[in-house]
Amino acid sequence: MTSLPRMAGPLVDSFGRTVRDLRVSVTDRCNFRCSYCMPEEGMQWMPRDDLLTYEELARVARVCVERFGFDGVRITGGEPTVRAHLPVLVGMLAALDVDVAMTTNGATLPLLADDLRRAGLRRVNISCDSLRRDRFAAITRRDALPQVLEGIDAALAAGFDPVKVNVVTMRGVNDDEAVDFAAFGRERGVVVRFIEFMPLDADGAWSMEKVVPAAETVAAVDAVFPLEPVAHGPEPATRWRYRDGGGEIGAIASVTQPFCDNCDRVRLTADGQFRTCLFATDELDLRALLRSGATDDELAGALAAAVGAKWAGHRIGQVTFVRPARSMSQIGG
Ligand code: SAM
Ligand code: SF4
């Protein structure tokens, strides 16, 4: 990679929000079929030639870091660990000297955790929506709870710090497990984060009735393990610590208390489309730019123009809300 002159400074959108966090999806494929994310069958996979190469992904990340001072890159998918040679990409991103993190379902971490850590991955979020094996299998359509729990242990043993466990809470599905997850987090020394169910499922089963407000989940935990709020930065999770010093939980109230006013994120899909919001209805075709010989100046200019047009927020629950054409696994969660 050539070294480039640094540009003017941070990317600020027209609402005054500074964008500094890039989420890169490396694949739309997955070894699970979580009901809130993918249909059991019939996903149309992206053609392999459309996937950005690791060099292309790392180039976009480098432009974001060098030109606009981005300070974090999160690798996601689909399931990022099903893409071959992921530690190679981690190494390329770590060389940019930014915080490199990953969101994963954890099932392959018993095999990969050490290699990823050695390549420079610093933090990992592992998704797990039930601690009951039958329920986990019903949600993910894979009987893989033992592997995921092993994956959490492998992440801790590899030295990731913190290890966070993401739980999507859904009414009538797993809303009775908040306290069990809190106890699990306290015991294992992981930060459990409860995420509200968002309208990004592939089969359109989402409804407002299925959303469990994060405040309700936090209250359920607080009743058993008393909590106090933790001051935090622009991240979407509100944070709570146990009054007895037993660790922390997080709550991500994307639906009932949107954090759009503080949003500092942009996303790159595995097929090279740049999105300024998880719920965006339009995308910038960076793949076309990358593959037509665009210079770094041209890439930076296109990114700045897209961020300049970033909207105020997603409006879930309002009549004006429009579901994006892509589901979570296709965008990159
Ligand atoms: N496969 C990885 C995983 O499951 O962690 C990374 C990709 S996944 C799309 C990223 C995150 O999005 C996961 O924590 C998952 O639980 C969450 N997610 C997927 N669909 C969702 C939905 N409809 N509402 C809320 N969160 C969702
Ligand atoms: Fe796969 Fe993650 Fe979607 Fe589940 S949430 S189907 S693990 S991409």
- Pick the ligand that lies closest to the CA of residue 168: 1
d(CA 56, CA 192): 33
- The rounded mean pLDDT for the chain is 90
Q: With cut-offs at 50, 70 and 90, classify the pLDDT of residue 51.
A: very high
Does the residue 326 lie in any domain?
yes
Q: Is the CB of 286 under 6 A from ligand 2?
A: no
What are the tokens at 304? 């700045």
Query: 71 and 265 in contact (C-beta within 8 Å)?
Result: no
Q: Which of 270, 221, 213, 250 is CA-nearest to residue 57?
A: 270
Does the residue 197 lie in any domain?
yes
Query: 168 and 129 in contact (C-beta within 8 Å)?
Result: yes
Q: Is the CB of 36 under 6 A from ligand 2?
A: no
Does the residue 6 lie in any domain?
no
Does the residue 3 lie in any domain?
no
Q: Which atom of ligand 1 is nearest to the CA of 206?
A: 23
pLDDT digits (tens, 9 = 90+) for 114-138: 999 999 999 999 999 999 999 999 9
Q: With cut-offs at 50, 70 and 90, classify the pLDDT of residue 1.
A: very low
Q: Which of 259, 276, 296, 316 is CA-nearest to residue 14?
A: 276
- Pick the ligand that lies closest to the CA of residue 195: 1
The total domain count for the chain is: 1
Task: Specify the residue for token string 């950005």.
Answer: 52
Q: Is the CB of 263 under 6 A from ligand 2?
A: no
pLDDT at 331 over 80: no
Does the residue 241 lie in any domain?
yes
- Residue 298: its pLDDT value, please? 95
Query: 105 and 167 in contact (C-beta within 8 Å)?
Result: no
Does the residue 220 lie in any domain?
yes
Q: What is the CATH number of the domain that holds 165?
A: 3.20.20.70
pLDDT digits (tens, 9 = 90+) for 11-47: 887 777 888 999 999 999 999 999 888 888 888 899 9
Which domain, by its residues, includes 183?
11-331
Query: 234 and 262 in contact (C-beta within 8 Å)?
Result: yes
Query: 8 and 302 in contact (C-beta within 8 Å)?
Result: no
- Pick the ligand that lies closest to the CA of residue 77: 1
Residues with CB under 6 A from ligand 1: 30, 36-37, 76-77, 79, 103-105, 127, 166, 168, 195, 197-198, 200-201, 328-329, 333
- Residue 33: its pLDDT value, please? 94
